[in-house]
């Protein structure tokens, strides 16, 4: 029960006007005074009793009445299942009835205005930040595609060599602590690092054709193992609704259908855990990696329009949109290129030029944490929300969705839902960056984590302590 709310209710009751006027003449009998005092006392008691009942049953205060984590009933140790729904923009949970997702929300802890992704708000950088607690320059995955500046090798989403993947992801942390992890798809999970060997039994190589239901059923089968063999940490990944978002933008009926499908597979998971009697024991953390915003043809900036100031040729450009990344040849000063580009953009003679701003990477806003890596090209352009950068006019008609923009845009936010023994029921917490999730999970599992960019105190501000 919220003591402060009760005190406020008591104060409100004591300050309220009486139903009857209690001011009487001293010449009158004291019986009416006693009666009125009795009525006032009863009114106060009634008000306080109502306040106690109301606030004790209020979802917003239910978490405050729980001071410690709920004990495990069947599992001998904490188990965390980390679920990603790719491109699940914050607010999608309200586009259509999502009873299963809302069951997790109502009986768990939710980031009230969404989870903040790292910059750039792209799939691989964010998924790897979630499991390492590191910003992209520190874990090495600075884009979905990029080049090694020394060897010239190209990183793609199919690159599984450990040299690309820095930091220590959670499955490696768990293995290094002598425990078992299982991954059903997650960027970086197929990479052999430390004591993590991507075991065939517990490490699924990415295959987007596998039905979502099959993925859920495989994870549920892990709970049929002997109790001491159940992995303590698991991942589960779904491509939707990102797939649809790129094709039709965030407001189309296809998104509504995709969200409904995700809710359905979450329901399948919950039902399976309940049949096994472990739903309340398992910690489920459901997140997305980024949001989505609509884009259309009229929201374009063309690099060829900058030719009067500087000729940006395609071989200079490592990434066009929404993150513009330029690496000029060694005989060109990056600083001079930035000056010339911004001169052209601010001239008024470049279509939508005022929608793009170009920086030397070291001059980017520090809040982006996007400078401290030699993998990041020296010139980075930030385009306004919903705009895209292209080399030249092609006449191609396109109107869909995109992400990768500045993580300050609310449209880039995604969801965070925590449900389990250490998450208070019905609690809302402020938005936070996804680099905090690593320490949150290591705290739940009580394993020693690796150094990261998250806050050591964050888990204590979110989790219920064990008794």
Task: For residue range 41-84, list pLDDT tens digits in order.
Answer: 444 443 433 333 333 333 443 444 458 999 999 999 999 999 99
Report the number of distinct structural domains present in the chain: 2
Strands 356-360 and 379-383, bridge-based pairing: antiparallel
Cα separation values, 252 from 193, 291, 292, 454, Å: 41, 15, 12, 36
State the pLDDT at residue 66.
56
Tell me which residue of 45, 423, 63, 117 sits closest to 287, measured CA to CA. 117
> Of 398, 425, 447, at which residue does a domain stop?
398
Residue 32 counted as domain residue? no
Q: Which of 380, 398, 416 is the last residue of a domain?
A: 398
**pLDDT above 50 for 35:** no
Query: Residue 420: its pLDDT value, please?
Result: 98
d(C-alpha 170, C-alpha 337), whole Å = 41
Pair 416, 287: CB distance under 8 Å: yes
The verdict on 187 and 92 lying in the same domain is: yes
Contacts within 8 Å (CB) and 24+ apart, 251-256: 251/294, 255/92, 255/95, 256/95, 256/96
Is the separation of the CB atoms in 33 and 24 below 8 Å?
A: yes
Is residue 458 within 8 Å of 440, Cβ to Cβ? yes
pTM for the model stands at 0.86
Q: What is the CATH number of the domain that holds 383?
A: 3.30.1360.180
Per-residue pLDDT at 153: 97
**In a shared domain, residues 252 and 349:** no
- pLDDT of residue 308 exceeding 60, the answer is yes
403 inside domain: no
Q: List the Cα angle 373/119/187 in 5-degree steps.
A: 80
The tokens for 206 are: 């990415």
* Token representation of residue 467: 């008794």
The rounded distance, in Å, linking the Cα atoms of 393 and 379 is: 23
Same domain, 267 and 340: no
- pLDDT grade, residue 38 (50/70/90)? very low
- Cα separation, 301 vs 353, in Å, equals 7
Residues 158 and 269 in one domain: yes
The answer to whether residues 256 and 324 belong to one domain is no
- Burial-class residue 224 by CB neighbours within 10 Å (0-12, 13-18, 19+): exposed
| Mean pLDDT, the chain, whole residue set | 88
What pLDDT is attached to residue 44? 42
For residue 5, being part of any structural domain is answered with no
Q: Are residues 366 and 243 part of one domain?
A: no
Q: Give me the domain span that covers residue 448.
A: 79-294+408-462
Report yes or no on 47 lying in a domain.
no
pLDDT-based confidence at residue 31 (cuts at 50, 70, 90):
very low
Asked whether residue 197 is domain-assigned, the answer is yes
Token couple for 304:
């060829």
How does residue 355 score in pLDDT terms, banded at 50, 70 and 90? very high
The tens digit of pLDDT for each residue in 386-401 reads 999 999 998 787 789 9
**Same-domain status, 290 and 301:** no
Question: 385 and 236 in one domain?
Answer: no
> Which has the higher per-residue pLDDT, 3 or 207?
207
114 in Cβ contact with 433 (< 8 Å): no
Cα Dmax for the chain: 105
Mean of pLDDT values over 353-372: 98
Does the annotation mark 123 as catalytic?
A: yes
CA 456 – CA 436 distance, rounded (Å) = 9
Mark whether 110 and 94 lie in a shared domain: yes
What average pLDDT score do residues 316-341 get?
97
Same domain, 88 and 219: yes
What's the Cα-to-Cα distance from 419 to each of 220, 309, 329, rounded to whole Å?
Answer: 17, 55, 51
Last residue of a domain, one of 368, 398, 428: 398
Catalytic residue among 98, 123, 180, 235: 123
Alpha-carbon distance 63 to 2, whole Å?
9
- Counted residue by residue, the chain has a size of 467
- Looking at residue 224, what DSSP letter applies? T
What's the CA gap between 359 and 351, in Å, rounded?
19
Q: For residue 286, what pLDDT band results from cuts at 50, 70 and 90?
A: very high
User: Does residue 418 sit in the same domain as residue 340?
Assistant: no
3-19 pLDDT tens trace: 333 333 333 333 333 32
Pairing of strands 317-319, 323-326: antiparallel
195/339 Cα distance (integer angstroms)? 48
For residue 86, what are the contacts with CB-CB under 8 A and spacing of at least 6? 123, 237, 238, 239, 240, 241, 242, 243, 288, 289
Number of Cβ within a 10 Å radius of residue 48 = 15
**Mapping DSSP to helix (H, G, I), strand (E, B) and coil, where does residue 81 land?**
strand
Per the domain annotation, does 321 fall within a domain? yes
Percent of the chain with pLDDT over 70: 86
CB 193 within 8 A of CB 147: no
Domain CATH for 135: 3.40.720.10
Q: Does one domain contain both 88 and 210?
A: yes
CB contact at 8 A, 299 and 135 = no
Scanning 177-326, the segments in alpha helix (DSSP H) are 212-222, 242-248, 253-275
Let me know if residue 14 belongs to a domain. no
Can you give the pLDDT at residue 466? 85
Tell me the CA distances in angstroms from 303 to 263, 333, 402, 444, 460, one per residue in order: 42, 18, 19, 49, 48
Q: Does any domain span residue 266?
A: yes
Q: Which residue has the tokens 């609690």?
A: 427
Selection from 167, 203, 158, 161 nearest residue 185 by Cα: 203
């Amino acid at each position: 029960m919220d003591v402060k709310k009760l005190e406020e209710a008591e104060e409100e009751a004591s300050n309220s006007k009486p139903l009857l006027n209690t001011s009487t003449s001293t010449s009158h009998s004291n019986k009416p005074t006693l009666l009125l005092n009795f009525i006032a006392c009863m009114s106060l008691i009634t008000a306080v009793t109502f306040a106690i009942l109301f606030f004790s049953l209020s979802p917003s205060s239910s978490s405050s009445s729980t001071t410690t984590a709920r004990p495990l009933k069947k599992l001998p140790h904490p188990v965390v299942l980390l679920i990603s729904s790719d491109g699940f923009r914050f607010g999608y949970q309200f586009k259509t009835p999502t009873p299963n997702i809302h069951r997790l929300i109502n009986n768990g802890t939710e980031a009230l205005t969404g989870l903040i992704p790292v910059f750039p708000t792209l799939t691989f950088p964010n998924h790897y930040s979630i499991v390492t607690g590191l910003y992209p320059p520190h874990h090495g995955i600075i884009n979905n595609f990029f080049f090694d500046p020394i060897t010239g090798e190209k990183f793609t989403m199919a690159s599984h060599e450990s040299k690309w993947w820095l930091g220590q992801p959670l499955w490696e942390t768990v293995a290094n602590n002598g425990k078992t992890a299982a991954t059903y798809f997650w960027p970086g999970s197929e990479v052999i690092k430390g004591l993590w060997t991507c075991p065939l039994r517990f490490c699924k190589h990415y295959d987007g054709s596998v039905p979502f239901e099959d993925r859920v059923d495989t994870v549920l089968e892990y709970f049929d193992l002997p109790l001491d063999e159940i992995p303590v940490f698991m991942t589960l990944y779904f491509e939707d609704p990102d797939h649809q978002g790129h094709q039709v933008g965030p407001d189309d009926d296809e998104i509504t259908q995709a969200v409904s499908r995700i809710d359905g597979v979450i329901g399948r998971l919950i039902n399976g855990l309940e049949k096994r009697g472990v739903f309340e024991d398992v910690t489920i953390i459901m997140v997305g990696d980024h949001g989505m915003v609509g884009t259309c043809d009229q929201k374009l900036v063309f690099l060829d329009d900058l030719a009067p100031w500087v000729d940006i040729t395609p071989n200079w450009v490592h990434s066009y949109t929404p993150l513009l990344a330029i690496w000029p040849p060694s005989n060109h000063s990056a600083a001079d290129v930035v000056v010339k580009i911004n001169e052209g953009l601010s001239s008024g003679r470049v279509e939508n030029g005022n929608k793009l701003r170009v920086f030397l990477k070291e001059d980017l806003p520090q809040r982006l944490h996007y400078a401290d890596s030699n993998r990041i090209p020296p010139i980075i352009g930030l385009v306004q929300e919903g705009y895209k950068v292209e080399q030249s006019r092609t006449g191609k008609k396109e109107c869909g969705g995109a992400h990768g923009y500045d993580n300050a845009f609310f449209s880039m936010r995604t969801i965070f839902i925590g449900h389990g023994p250490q998450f208070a029921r019905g609690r809302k917490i402020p938005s936070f960056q996804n680099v905090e999730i690593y320490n949150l999970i290591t705290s739940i599992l009580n394993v020693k984590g690796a150094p990261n960019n998250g806050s050591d105190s964050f888990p204590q501000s979110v989790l219920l302590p064990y008794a």
